[in-house]
Every structure is written in structure tokens, then in C-alpha cells.
Amino acid sequence: MRAPGTLAVVLVLAASGKAAHARAAASHLSVRQAHPWGFGASFSWLSTGVPSFASIGVAGERAFGRWFALEAGAETGLVAAAPDATVTQVEPHLVARLSARPTLPLDRQERNTLFVSVGPQVLVGGAYDRLTLAHTEAGYHLRTWSGVSFLAAAVVNFALTERPAAVAPADCPAVCEGPIAYGTRSIGFRVALGTDF
């Protein structure tokens, strides 16, 4: 029968071995593997084409391995002042999207990643009431071990539904949103800042 002191030493050595093994296993994880979930604030500005708008909201992401991620986002349009100085909501009330994102890590820790993404986007309210788009992005994503996440992407949207002009030309005092046909394009950018966990 072992003495209590010997048994205590054995238990301490076993615990130390398990802790060392856990640290060794963790050291082989990339940032994406250690922190596969992401959540943060998102800002979009579609400055060219139809529809053009700016919106702000939130986005969440889940990374799956080294080469793929899914993202869902919800934003609301920013209020713009009309030429007659009244405040008019010309941007959509809701911008909802779901994107599949193939990724290309630039380092072994997967802190720096290039990506493209594609998926459906729906605009609700505003100038066109309801509009379905094909949403595409190409950009750069930074993840840090401290949990900070930054994303910047060029955006191109393609209309999947048709809509008449938001305002009749005779009633348009300045620049107004024109008609939308299938494939009508809008171009801009999106940036996001958040945390990974």
C-alpha cells in the first residue's frame, strides 16, 4: 500500500501531464479553430447603381475548418434628408442577408484571410418596399488571438426582381431611384468590427 505522500505526488504528476498535453494540443490550433464564432457591427454603403443606400447593423459568422464560413447579417438603412429639408426614409428599413464564404488563409495561424462570398439579400421597406438581390463580396478578414475581428470587402449586388421607379420622373426634384430590372447592379463596400470566440 502506497503512503499518502506518494499517492499525492502521483496525482500531481498526472495532473501536470494532462495540463501539458492540453497546452500542446491548443498550440496546434489556428485562430479560426480556437475562435470559430464571430459577432460584430457592420456598415454597408452601396454608392453606385440601383438601389443605392447606406445601412448599419450586426453580423454573425461561423467558420467551418480552414476553407469555408457562413455569415448572417441584419442592417437598417440610414435616414437621408430630402431636398425640401424634410426627413425621408429612402433607404430600406431592413437589409437581411445570408452568405456562404469560401476562404483563403494567408498564414498558418489563419489570422489573415482573403475571401469571396455569395448569397441572397432581401431589402424590406424604403424606396422599393421589398427587393431580392444576389449579394456578392470579395475582401479581407483579420482575426487576432485576443478576439478582435476586422473585415473589409467590396460589394456587388444584382437585382433578382423587377421594380418600377421609386418616384415618377415628373415628381422627382433631384436625383431619385430609377427602375430596377433583373440583373440591375449596385456597387459599394462593407466594413465590420467585432469579436471572435
Q: What is the pLDDT of residues 95-108, one digit of tens each?
A: 999 999 999 999 99
The greatest distance separating any two alpha carbons of the chain, rounded to the nearest whole angstrom, comes to 100
| CATH code of the domain made up of 35-196 | 2.40.160.20
If pLDDT is split at 50, 70 and 90, which confidence band does 3 have?
A: low
What pTM was computed for the model?
A: 0.78
The residue ranges of every structural domain in the chain are 1-30, 35-196
